[in-house]
Amino acid sequence: MLNLERLRTLDALARHGSVSGAAAGLHITTSAVSQQMAKLEREAGQRLLAKNGRGVRLTDAGRLLAEHAARILSQVELAQADLEAQRGQVAGELRLSAFPTAARGLFPAALATLRAEHPALRLRSSELEPERGISGVVRGDLDLAVVLDWYNKPIPLPDGLVKAPLLDDPADVAMPAGHRLAGRDEVDLAEFAEDEWITWGEGEFCHEWLMFTLRSKGIEPIVGHRAAETHTQLGLVAAGLGVCIAPLLGRHPMPPEVVTVPLKQRVRRHVYVVWRADADRRPSIRAAVDALRATAREVGQAE
């Protein structure tokens, strides 16, 4: 009889591609992964792993069993979802992530509501960029992820995920109070062709969006500074080091040395929550989505 937890370890190893990645995803040690795989090989009666340089790779038998493991674990999750739905109880553990400004602007109120209304639900949250949040949900490391895309650059969602919109988040240009355009009612991105930009990290979705958007207007961006968090970017703007795009969600309080001006072509981020379709019937998923949507409505009304 194949052990379910060992199949879960094999599945994590196949998805992450390394023992260390599987250990991190399962929140166990690398030695525990190796021990579980050794026991699974004895159960299967075949070699499932082979050395590959300093790491390991799946053998043909390992890949075959990993494919079965993914289907078995998906079916187990469906069974758990059906049992939860039949009980109608919001209980157990729920793992969530959000990109930084949503973690700041949505999670505190939404998670406090969930804790107050469902004390049997254990919440585990983390701050992750959209791509990592989506990957975590696909791998099964997360149950829910709050992610975003931009009005002119959607983010692709893998098959098997469900999403629900939370809010459209307007974004302005933030500039030092003494900037030449600070007194305007609205501005155009082309007017910042000679300004230094403060942007997100290289390769991050929002950074790629900004580069794409500026270049589509014939502007080759001058990037002076990078920071993941909106408040760090605004601090750099306040010091007179450049301008940045400042979405409304999570940006308050604003430094007094910073002015925000709307763009003529309105810029918005679409914020939504994603989860796996095979977990759709879990009451904890539905409760978390409802709490996030209620919090998002309050944020939208405050705008």
Tens of pLDDT, residue by residue over 128-137, are: 999 889 988 8
Q: Name the residue with higher pLDDT: 140 or 128.
A: 128
Q: Which of 28, 50, 85 is the last residue of a domain?
A: 85
Q: Judge if 54 and 122 occupy the same domain.
A: no
Q: How far is CA 218 from the centre of its chain?
A: 31
Residue 122 pLDDT grade (very low, low, confident, very high; cuts 50, 70, 90): very high
**Token pair in block for residue 195:** 């300004």
pLDDT in tens, 206-231: 999 999 999 998 999 999 999 988 89
Q: Judge if 113 and 215 occupy the same domain.
A: yes
Distance in angstroms (rounded) separating the CA atoms of residues 17 and 5:
18
Predicted pLDDT at 85: 61
How much is the pTM?
A: 0.74
What is the mean pLDDT of the segment spanning 190-210? Answer: 92
Q: Judge if 97 and 211 occupy the same domain.
A: yes
Q: Name the residue with higher pLDDT: 50 or 173.
A: 173
Predicted pLDDT at 220: 93
Q: Judge if 98 and 215 occupy the same domain.
A: yes
Lowest mean pLDDT among 30-39, 115-124, 177-186, 239-248: 30-39
Nearest to 258 by CA among 271, 278, 241: 241
Number of domains in the chain: 2
Predicted pLDDT at 76: 78
pLDDT in tens, 11-53: 888 888 888 888 877 768 888 888 988 999 898 898 988 888 8
Q: Judge if 152 and 300 occupy the same domain.
A: yes
Predicted pLDDT at 4: 84
Q: Name the residue with higher pLDDT: 273 or 25.
A: 273
Q: Judge if 196 and 156 occupy the same domain.
A: yes
Q: Which of 53, 85, 117 is the last residue of a domain?
A: 85
Lowest mean pLDDT among 47-56, 111-120, 168-177: 47-56
Strands (E), 130-276: 144-150, 161-176, 196-199, 222-226, 244-247, 258-261, 267-276
Predicted pLDDT at 23: 84
Predicted pLDDT at 169: 94
Predicted pLDDT at 233: 95
Q: Judge if 23 and 149 occupy the same domain.
A: no
Cα-Cα-Cα-Cα dihedral of 133, 109, 94, 81, to 10°?
-100
Give me the domain span that covers residue 35.
4-85
Contact predicate 246/233, CB 8 Å: yes
Predicted pLDDT at 84: 66
Q: Judge if 195 and 165 occupy the same domain.
A: yes
Mean pLDDT of the residues in the chain: 89
Q: Judge if 130 and 184 occupy the same domain.
A: yes
Q: Which of 68, 85, 102 is the last residue of a domain?
A: 85
- Contacting residues for 170 by C-beta, under 8 A, at least 6 apart: 247, 248, 262, 266, 267, 268, 303
Q: Name the residue with higher pLDDT: 55 or 219.
A: 219
CATH number of domain containing 46: 1.10.10.10
Greatest mean pLDDT among 1-10, 143-152, 200-209 lies in: 143-152
